[in-house]
Amino acid sequence: MIEINRLTKKFDQVVAVEDLTFDVGEGEVLGFLGPNGAGKSTTMKVITGFLSPTSGTVKIDGFDISENPMEAKSLIGYLPEGAPSYGDMTTLEFLNFVAQIRGYRGDEITLRVNHVVAEVALESVAHQTIDTLSKGFKRRVGLAQAIMHDPKVLILDEPTDGLDPNQKHHVRELIKNLAKDKIVVISTHILEEVTAVCSRAIIISEGRIVVDGTPAELESQSRYHHAVSVRLKSDYDLAADLAKFSSAMDVEQDAADKLHFTILASEGKPIFSAVSELAQEMQWPVAEFHVSRGQLEDVFRTVTERAVGD
Amino acid sequence: MGNMGIVFRRELIGYFSTPLAYIFIVIFLISNGIFTFDLGGFYLRGQADLLPFFSFHPWLYLFMVPAIAMTLWADERKTGTIELLLTLPIKLSDAVIGKFLAAWGLTGIALMLTFPIWVTVNYLGDPDNGVIFAAYIGSWFMAGGFLAIGSCMSACTKNSVIAFILTVSICFLFVIMGSPILLNAFPEWVPQFFVDAFSAMGFLTHFDSIAKGVLDIRDFLFFAVFISAWLLASGVVIEIRKAH
């Protein structure tokens, strides 16, 4: 369990994180979202004990990161932003080094290193110098290092940043597999990642929490939640029909594709059946017709821009 | 093996997995040869000792040691590995001392490889080998002093070139502190104890007596305390600067 209580971190006069309070429990995969510079990385650096908080506390399974740093750090696996590692070492040498620092001795080292190498599929580059590896492999070396000691808490700062879609998929699968009995905190600004792997999402902006909920709850805050998306075969005045029929619906026409309309549910209630009945009745020239889920991106922009605007 | 030992090993192997260690050793040996035989007049003196060899060491270290020390922390900060290292369950002191010892080990290896000079002087005459041994240890301690300054300077910046220049400047100050040129420059009204204290901080003051065979435990103690103080400062600087 991670307990963060009234955490504040200032750099000189700049407040990076302000009065942050939240808990993360076992089995949760927390997506930590926010615009660049919102304080995501700073928060992670404080949780992992790299930076000390200006005020407030961070506890990992009851161990305060400032007072019992060794106990707390030994429970955490951390992938810092950009997955730094010692470039002059080979993958195996580097992982051996981490295994030793993590307290493994003798045969255990080989056992653990082989295990993580298999887990993140590093066999092909085991004897290569890390400097010569591709970005995807470097990221996986960073992940291997983080899961070396089968940590209870896994903190990953932008684990898929800069990876190609296949590598992203692979890393996400890996995180899902790891997550079962652990606490995972992932920072990202890729929103699809949240729906893909997270069981909970926190959006921070300007160092404060602006949203905390499941990805589904977040989506439901979107103005596109329950909206119906319609593509027509030919031009037709949908808005006129809708205006006659009900005042509770708004229509947006796509700027690029003039035949694509989005009908918004202005009270957040399902409108699909009402719209589909109307379409049949008035015989709209429909090509495509479906309900859109909420758009996280929309929620993200709304809450972070609102926070900045205040 | 404790965490300090693990860091020490990683760093030392790291030096030898890049050309850095080899280049350092080769340049160190060549410079030593030039200084001792050409500039030092090793043969002309007609004495069976290694004074010409050792007396150039402070000046040789002035440029060579900062070259090793400059990457100690600057590179860790530049590549971000400092974040990795310091979030592992390891004490900062273990990291600082382990890294320092690895660099000090490298200078020790380079120094040991000058053994043919020691063999030569034994072949040519009958030197006092005890004095030579003590001078070797003294020289190594002095290298440690330079390195400890370098460790602290390297912690101040992400840029290893800046770290190099800072280290050379500060080391130069400590080398000349005990030299007559500087001491004579003090005006009359400066109290004698201040001049003495100033000169007591100088590397030359301590190293010259070791090189000449005057064995005083206080000279070694000076370097030991000096190294500890600068390593402590390194730890403080890392703690303060790591966020930037």
Using only the alpha carbons of chain A, give its radius of gyration.
Answer: 24
Residue A306 lies in a domain: no
Helix (H) or strand (E) holding B9: helix B3-17
3-class SS at A22? strand
Helix (H) or strand (E) holding A76: strand A76-79
Residues of chain B predicted below pLDDT 50: none
Report the largest interatomic distance among the alpha carbons of chain B, rounded to a whole angstrom.
58
Contact at CB, A50 and B86, closer than 8 angstroms: yes
Candidate from A78, A82, A88 with C-beta closest to B14: A88
User: What one-letter code names the amino acid at A45?
Assistant: K
3-class secondary structure for A160-196?
A: CCCCCHHHHHHHHHHHHHHHHHCEEEEEECCHHHHHH
Q: Best residue in B83, B99, B238, B241 to probe A by mutation, most A CBs within 10 Å? A: B83
- Same domain (yes/no): A17, A107: yes
- CATH number for the domain spanning A152: value is 3.40.50.300
Per-residue pLDDT of chain A (310 residues; tens, 9 = 90+): 899 999 999 888 888 888 899 999 888 899 988 888 888 889 999 999 999 999 999 999 999 999 999 999 999 999 999 899 999 899 999 999 999 999 999 899 999 999 999 988 899 999 999 999 988 889 899 999 999 999 999 999 988 887 888 888 888 888 888 887 889 999 987 787 888 888 899 988 888 888 888 888 777 777 777 778 888 888 877 777 777 766 567 777 777 777 788 887 766 677 777 777 777 877 888 888 877 766 777 777 777 776 555 4
- Same domain (yes/no): A195, A65: yes
Residue A53 lies in a domain: yes
Candidate from B7, B10, B87 with C-beta closest to A48: B87
Residue A119 lies in a domain: yes
Residue A304 lies in a domain: no
- Same domain (yes/no): A285, A178: no
How many structural domains is chain A composed of? 2
Give the residue from B167, B124, B162 showing the smallest Cα distance to B148: B167
- For residue A310, the model assigns a pLDDT of 47
Chain A residues within 8 A of B83 when measuring between CB atoms: 45, 50, 80, 84
Candidate from B6, B14, B87 with C-beta closest to A50: B87
- Same domain (yes/no): A132, A275: no
- For residue A15, the model assigns a pLDDT of 87
Rounded distance between C-alpha atoms, residue A206 and residue B196, angstroms: 56
Residue A307 lies in a domain: no
Chain B residues within 8 A of A11 when measuring between CB atoms: 243-244
**What percent of chain A is helix, strand and coil (3-state, nearest 5)?**
40, 25, 35
Residue A8 to chain B, least CA–CA distance (Å): 15
- Same domain (yes/no): A68, A94: yes
Residue A297 lies in a domain: no
- Same domain (yes/no): A288, A173: no
- Helices B20-33 and B3-17: angle between axes, nearest 10 degrees: 70
Cβ atoms A79, A146 nearer than 8 A? yes
| ipTM for this prediction | 0.87
- Same domain (yes/no): A132, A237: no
- For residue A64, the model assigns a pLDDT of 93
pTM reported for the whole predicted model: 0.86
Contact at CB, A100 and B6, closer than 8 angstroms: yes
- For residue B182, the model assigns a pLDDT of 76
Residue A151 lies in a domain: yes
- Same domain (yes/no): A145, A107: yes
- For residue B48, the model assigns a pLDDT of 66
Final residue of a domain: which of A169, A187, A220?
Answer: A220
Give me the residue label for tokens 């190293």.
B207
Rounded distance between C-alpha atoms, residue A58 and residue A24, angstroms: 11
Final residue of a domain: which of A220, A246, A263?
Answer: A220
Helix (H) or strand (E) holding A16: strand A14-24
Contacts of B67 (CB under 8 A, 6+ apart): B24, B164
Contact at CB, A81 and B1, closer than 8 angstroms: no
- Same domain (yes/no): A10, A113: yes
Residue A215 lies in a domain: yes
- Number of helices (H) and strands (E) in chain B: give both, helices first: 14, 0
Contacts of A235 (CB under 8 A, 6+ apart): A258, A259
- Same domain (yes/no): A200, A239: no
Residue A93 to chain B, least CA–CA distance (Å): 9
Give the residue from A133, A122, A131, A178 showing the smallest Cα distance to A155: A178
Structural domain for A106, as ranges: 2-220
Give the residue from A42, A35, A47 showing the smallest Cα distance to A17: A42
- Same domain (yes/no): A232, A210: no
- Same domain (yes/no): A32, A150: yes
- For residue A26, the model assigns a pLDDT of 87
- For residue B229, the model assigns a pLDDT of 95
Cβ atoms A193, A160 nearer than 8 A? yes
